[in-house]
Structure 1
Amino acid sequence: MTTKRLQDEHDQSSDGKKEDKRLRKLPSFSTDIVMAESLKSFCLALEPVLRRVVQEEVERGLVHGTRLLQRSPQRQIQAVESSSLKLTFKNPPSLPIFTSSKIEDEEGNSLQIVLLDTQNGEEEPSPAQISSPIKVELVVVNGDFPGKREEWSADEFNDNIVIAREGKRPLLIGDVDLVLRDYAIASIQKLMFTDNSSWTRSRSFRIGARVSPESTYSGPRIKEAITKRFTVKDHRGELYRKRYPPRLGDEVWRLAKIGKDGAFHTKLSAANIHTVQDFLKLSVIDQSRLRMLAKLIVSAWQANVQIMAHEAYLNWDKVEDADGFFAGITTTLIPSIELI
C-alpha cells in the first residue's frame, strides 16, 4: 500500500509539473496586445520618414536622368564639333620654368596669344578678324591632357584645369586675363607659377588659354590653346640655371660647363671676366689669353664652352662697348673667331 501511495504521489507531481510548463508556454494575451500596439505605433511613426526618403530618391533619380539626357547629346556634339577658330601660343615658353620667375618664350620675349582662322584658304592660318574684343583667360592644365589627341571638347578642357592646392595662392599669377582686339593678338607681359608641379599625378603642367567665362563672345566655338607639357621646378634651382642661348648680361657661369663659384669661374672672375659679353670680347680680342685661362683648369671641355659663346653671339647684331675696347662687333666678325 505504501508503495502504491508513493507511486500515486509521484504521478500527481509529474502531472503538476507538466501542467505548469504548459501554462508557462502559453503567451500572455495582454502582452501580445501591447506588442502589437507598439509595433503599429512604430510603423505609423516610420511611415512618413520612409515616404520622404523614397520620394527624395525618386526625385534625385529623375533629376539625374534628365541631366544626362540634356548633357549627353551636348557632349556628343562637342566631341565631333570642329571649328575654324582656335587660340594658339605664337611661340612656346622657354624651359625650364621655375616658380616665382617670369615666363618668356623661346626667343626671350613675352608670350603671345593669337586667334587664328584655319579656313582662310592659306597654307598657314592667319590671325582671325574679330568685330569686337574677346576676353581670354589663362589657366593651368594637367600635363597628361589631351594625351595623343589633337581634338577635344570644351568640357574635356575644363575638366582638366588644375587648381591650386588648399591654402596656396592661385597657381598662375600675372596677366591671366587678356583681351584680343583688332589684330586678334595679346601679349602676356608678366606671368609666373607660384607652385611646382611635383604634387600632381602627371608631375607636369601645360599653360592653357580659353575664352573667358566672363566674355560676351557668342560666335562659333573657339578652340582652346595649350602649350607642350613641362615641369615647374622650385625657384631655388634657378640659382644654378643655365641659359641656352645665353644673354649678353648673364653672368659667365650661365655658360655650359662653367660651374658657379667653381675653379674656372674663379679664374675668369680674377681676370675681370664676369659676363658672357666679357667672355665673347676676350675670345675675339685676346684668344690666347682665354685659351691660357682655360688650360689652367682643364682642356677637355674648352671647345664646348667656346662653341656655346659662339652660338650665342650668332643671335646678336652687335656687342655694345662696355669697357672701351671697341665701338662694336658685327656679325661679320664671326668668321674671325677661331674656336678653341
Structure 2
Amino acid sequence: TYTVPSTSKNLQLQFTTRLSLPIFTGSKVEGEGTLSIALVDTLTREVVVMGKESLLKVEIVVLEGDFEDGEGNDWTAQEFNNNIVKERQGKRPLLSGDVFVGLERGIGTVGDVSFTDNSSWTRSRKFRLGARTEDGCYNGVRVREAKTESFVVKDHRGELYKKHHPPVLEDEVWRLEKIGKEGAFHKRLNKEKIVTVKDFLTLLHLDAPRLRKILGTGMSTKMWEVTIEHAKTTCILSDKVHIYYLESPSKTAVVFNAVGEVRGLISEKFVSVDDLTEKEKV
C-alpha cells in the first residue's frame, strides 16, 4: 500500500471494473465485478489508503458518450463538467438512487443507481458514467475525474422485459423483481443453471444461503427481500409433491411441494405444516 503525500499532483478517481451491458432504464447499473470507485496515485497506480483524501465523498454523474480524453490523456475539471448530461426538460433527474459514494481507505462501492431515461436523444446516442469530487480538487490539489466506457441505455418498456405479477414456475427467472433481463444477476443465476422461477424457488427453499451467495454483494438486502417476496407470490399450479421417508421406526415422511417447500408430515395421517408443533417442525 502507498500513501500519497499532500504535495502530490497525481490523484485520480477510477472505476474498478467495466460495466455489465446492456443497461436498461429502471434497472440497477452493475459492473462485471463489484462496481466500485477508487482514488489512485497515477504515478504508482496504487490506491490511496491513508490520509483524509482516502475518505473523499464522490458524486456519480452522467457524461456525453463522445467525451474523449484531451491532449496527454487528460482533461480539465471545466471540460469534464461541460460534458455532464442533465435530464431532458420536464423529466426526472437522469440518475436515480445513491449518486454519492463515500470512500473508505480509498475505495467506495457504488450503490443502487439506475437511469430514468434512455440515451437516444443525446448527440452521440450514448452515455458514460463519471465520478468527481465536489470541485475537482482536494485541498487545492487536482483530483482527476473517473469515466467509464461509452454505452447505450435502452428503455425497459414493453412485454419483452415486463415483470409478471404473479410469476409462474415456467417463467424465466428475470421476470422476478430486481433481476434485469441479461443483467448481472440474470447472468450469475444462469451460470448456476437457475433459469426459471421454479429453479429459483427450489434453491431458495433448499439452500437459501447459496442462492444469496450466487447473487452476490451487488444485490442489497433490501433488493433481496423484494425479489424473495415477489418469488413467493408465484402460482404453483402443480399438484406434484415429493415424499421423503425418514429413517425411523415411526415411518414418518416429509412432504415437499414442486419447489422443495415443506408442506407437512405423514405419520398415520397427513398433517399440514401449519398444524405442526414447534418440536415437529424441528
TM-score (norm 2): 0.54
Distance, in Å, in 1 between the alignment partners of 2:42 and 2:192 is 43
Structure 2, unpaired ranges of 5+: 1-7, 163-173, 175-180, 203-212, 215-258, 262-282
- The one-letter amino acid paired with 1:95 is L
Structure 2 residue 185 is matched with structure 1 residue 231: no
Please point out which of 10, 23, 31 is paired with 1:105.
31
1:1-340 alignment, distance < 5 Å: 83-107=9-33, 109=34, 111-120=35-44, 124-131=45-52, 133-146=55-68, 150-181=73-104, 183-213=105-135, 217-236=138-157, 238-239=161-162, 241-242=181-182, 246-248=187-189, 274-275=198-199, 323=260
8 Å CA contact 1:83, 1:223 repeated in 2: no
In the TM superposition, residue 226 of structure 1 has moved relative to its aligned partner by 0.2
8 Å CA contact 2:47, 2:106 repeated in 1: no
- The one-letter amino acid paired with 1:186 is G
> Of the two structures, which has the highest relative contact order with CA contacts closer than 8 Å and spacing of 6 or more?
2
In the TM superposition, residue 100 of structure 1 has moved relative to its aligned partner by 0.7
- The one-letter amino acid paired with 2:147 is I
In the TM superposition, residue 178 of structure 1 has moved relative to its aligned partner by 2.1
Secondary structure of the residue aligned to 1:126 is coil
- The one-letter amino acid paired with 2:88 is R
Q: Greater helix share, 1 or 2?
A: 1
Q: Greater strand share, 1 or 2?
A: 2
The change in CA–CA distance for 1:198 and 1:127 in structure 2 (over 3 A counts) is: same
The change in CA–CA distance for 1:177 and 1:276 in structure 2 (over 3 A counts) is: closer
In the TM superposition, residue 200 of structure 1 has moved relative to its aligned partner by 0.6
The change in CA–CA distance for 1:179 and 1:251 in structure 2 (over 3 A counts) is: closer
Distance, in Å, in 2 between the alignment partners of 1:242 and 1:203 is 21
Distance, in Å, in 1 between the alignment partners of 2:42 and 2:68 is 20
In the TM superposition, residue 165 of structure 1 has moved relative to its aligned partner by 0.3
Secondary structure of the residue aligned to 1:247 is helix
8 Å CA contact 2:20, 2:183 repeated in 1: no
Distance, in Å, in 1 between the alignment partners of 2:48 and 2:60 is 19
8 Å CA contact 2:30, 2:183 repeated in 1: no
Root-mean-square deviation (CA, aligned residues, Å) is 3.5
TM-score (norm 1): 0.46
Q: Report the equivalent of 2:177.
A: none
The change in CA–CA distance for 1:141 and 1:216 in structure 2 (over 3 A counts) is: closer
Q: Report the equivalent of 1:27.
A: none
In the TM superposition, residue 118 of structure 1 has moved relative to its aligned partner by 2.3
> Who wins on radius of gyration, i.e. which is larger?
1
In the TM superposition, residue 147 of structure 1 has moved relative to its aligned partner by 5.7
Q: How many residues align?
A: 179
Structure 1, unpaired ranges of 5+: 1-81, 256-268, 279-314, 317-321, 325-340
The change in CA–CA distance for 1:243 and 1:180 in structure 2 (over 3 A counts) is: closer
- The one-letter amino acid paired with 2:10 is S
- The one-letter amino acid paired with 1:92 is R
Q: Report the equivalent of 2:5.
A: none
